[in-house]
Structure 1
Amino acid sequence: MLLSGLMVFAVLATAVIGRPLIRAAAPALIRFPRFAVLGLGLSLVLWLASVVAAGLFLAWSLSGPSPLPAPVAEVCQRCLAASNPFSAGFATQTVVPAAAFLFAPAAAVMVVLTLGGRAAWQRQAQLRETCRSLLPVGHRQVIDGHQVTVIDDPHPSAFALGRDRWGIVVSTGLLKVLGYQELRAVLAHEATHLRERHHLVLDFIGSITGPLRWVPFAAAIGDAVPHYLEVSADNAAQRRAGTRALASALLAMGEASSAQRAASDQSGPSRMMLAAGPERVRQLISPVNPRRGVLGAAAIIVIMAVLIVTSVIAHGAALAALASGCVI
């Protein structure tokens, strides 16, 4: 019961304190944006696995009346006994069936994945519609070695569509206001989004965090990952065209950033990567000291280590029981 309680507490605590910890770790994570995206994505998957693992711990330590038909209840009890790494004689009697602890978390995770998959399909449909809308108004052009779709728009804007046919999209207004080095920086930024498949990363993260926005930990990951992807693209553009050129381009595009964000929300934010954003200029010119985020990052690592150990114990025991033939 103590271990089960600790497991449930760890899952709930992560859901609540995950947001402030991610914010506290930002100065350290922003220096390694690709590692941050990978780590946060894995942390989200691990948390979902821990929710199911917590249900397994409770099913092992609690016992109650079974609402299942006798044959099903017998198989369920046999599998629970075979997978239980603790002493089966110490289960606490409750009025809640053990099957509820076992199936409710798994069902909740399945609902989240189903809703996320549906949202991903809708974003795919939005992307196809966006591409079709560009067909009559855009023309293809090679700029600085990049295949670019140019659209007639006076606002200086650039974004990347996660489709090989269209790729980088820039406006005629952008070509007018940016110099050669600034344009190189913008194109390098957007090319990084395409090369590193950032649209797929955002689809994956958004599909999971969308139904879980009410969970602070998931909401914080959903908000942080797009920012770190932008920083990763900025770093690539900085290496190719220099800090001054990229900062100048971001400032020039800053006036149109609000309107561009609104347009991208209508066309599917998980597929469009915005090059504009003067708020990132400070990070380019004067990066935050990463030492300020060490404690937050260390706390996240410790919590994730606890969840890894407990999840491996729970899921490993369950898989071993299934492999031994407990359902037969």
Structure 2
Amino acid sequence: MNSLLLAFLMVGIVLAVATVGRPLIRAATPMLMRFPRVAVVSLSGGLLLWMASLVAAGLFLAWSITGPSPLPSPIADVCQRCLEASNPFSSGLAVETTVPSVVFLLAPVLAVLVVAAMGLRSVRTRHARLRETCQSLLPVGRTESVAGYQVTVVADPQPAAFALGRGRCGIIVSTGLLEKLSAYELRAVLEHEAAHLRERHHLILDFIGSITGPLRWVPFAAAIADSIPHYLEISADNAAQRRVGTRPLASALLIMGQASNEQRIAAQRGGPRRILLAAGPERVRQLVSPLDPRQGALGAAAIVALMAVLVVTSITAHGAALAAVLSGCVI
């Protein structure tokens, strides 16, 4: 196959995943909901793989297109040697253009670095907001042991509970929650929140948020950013369900659902994507009558097929580049 054709095919696959990824994730929802932990790992890995494939697509284009170099002579010579050493295609097949090949090589790399820098900045911002939330809640709350868990109780008539995954903030509950839930319902809520902390869900949200924040304009990244918090909630529900049972958890979610909108607003103000909520009556259906995972088999299979293509092409590109560097092309 012509190297330029293969390069454009690679670019097309990357763009296709970016656009059709959202509907495919939606179509795979029944399957992903059945295995929420697998869903979180797969979607997170898929996002990283897509970014790696973006760089790989630049490598394919750099191998297939040649042009004048804007770099100084010593650097240009090194880049040219490395490109030639890493090129898995036959020599002499590059297409002459007025666009320097280094543009295709460096543009995606710079884009990934910019995303990483913006992501780190957003993580620091969320940590600062979380510290403010902790500093505002801890002085007005009291520490108690409830159902075997150490929690901070704040005065609020609404039945509310959330987990702050940082240091001694831990699980926050309202006085309304203690008053309106039975002992079994209360334990179910605390088991849910403890699962968030135990499984380090906040770190996962930090990681995903740092990547997807600057990439919200990409449908695939936006779908992952919206889906993963939902699957983390289902994972925590499953953990609580195994320990306490379905009825207490479902009953607690229904009671707390009346305050879910207020909790979401508070979460957004106190630290977006760092507060995991226990409320949400929409999750009761998943507990009581989960969707048949076979309904999402086709969407999941399509996602796996696309990811497999990205894996092969990324390994080809990055493996060839790494082999060239290790062989001493920069010397």
TM class, shorter-length: over 0.9
Secondary structure at 1:256's aligned position in 2?
A: helix
1:230-252 CA-partner distances (Å, limit 9, x unpaired): 00000111111111111110010
C-alpha distance in 2 between matches for 1:197 and 1:211: 23
- Match of 1:105, SS state, is helix
1:1-328 matches, within 5 Å, as 1-328=4-331
- Contact 1:53–1:311 under 8 Å retained in 2: yes
Contact 1:185–1:249, Cα closer than 8 Å, also in 2: yes
Pick which of 18-27 and 124-133 moved more: 124-133
CA distance in 2, matches of 1:149, 1:165: 9
Q: Deviations over 1:217-271 (max 9, x none)?
A: 0000000000000000001111111111111100100111001100000111322
- CA deviation after TM superposition for structure 1 residue 21, in Å: 0.2
> 2-side partners of 1:27 and 1:142: how far apart?
37
- The SS at the match of 2:98 is coil
Distance across 1 between alignment mates of 2:215 and 2:287? 32
Consecutive aligned runs of 4 or more in structure 1 exceeding 2 Å deviation: none
Query: Which deviates further from its counterpart, 136-145 or 37-46?
Result: 136-145
Q: Note the C-alpha offset of 1:5.
A: 1.2
Give a deviation string over 1:244-299, Cα, whole Å, max 9, x none: 11111001001110011000001113221100000111111111111110000000
> How far does residue 145 in structure 1 lie from its aligned partner after superposition?
1.1
Contact 2:144–2:151 (CA<8 Å) still a contact in 1? yes
Q: Partners of 2:189 and 2:282 in 1: how far apart? A: 15
**2:14, 2:85 → 1: CA distance?**
25
Q: d(CA) in 2 for partners of 1:184 and 1:25? A: 32
1:115-170: CA deviation from partner (whole Å, max 9, x where unpaired): 01100011011111111111211111111111111111111100000023121110
| Partner amino acid, structure 1, of 2:294 | R
TM-score of the pair, normalised by structure 1: 0.99
Instruction: Give the distance between the partners of 2:197 and 2:10, measured in 1 at CA.
Output: 40
The alpha carbon displacement at 1:2 in A equals 1.7
Deviation of 1:57 after TM superposition, in Å, equals 0.3
- Match of 2:163, SS? strand
**Amino acid across the alignment from 1:84:** N
| Contact preservation (8 Å) 2:138, 2:169 | no
Contact 2:201 2:232 in 1 (8 A): yes
Q: Secondary structure at the match of 1:273?
A: strand
In 2, Cα distance between the equivalents of 1:283 and 1:164?
A: 31
Contact 1:11 1:50 in 2 (8 A): yes
Letter in 2 for 1:216: P
Give yes or no for contact 1:60–1:88 (8 Å, CA) kept in 2. no
Q: What one-letter code is carried by the residue in structure 1 that aligns with 2:112?
A: V
User: Cα offset for 1:87?
Assistant: 1.0
| Cα-Cα RMSD | 0.7
What code does the residue aligned with 1:74 have? D
Structure 2 gaps of 5+ residues are none
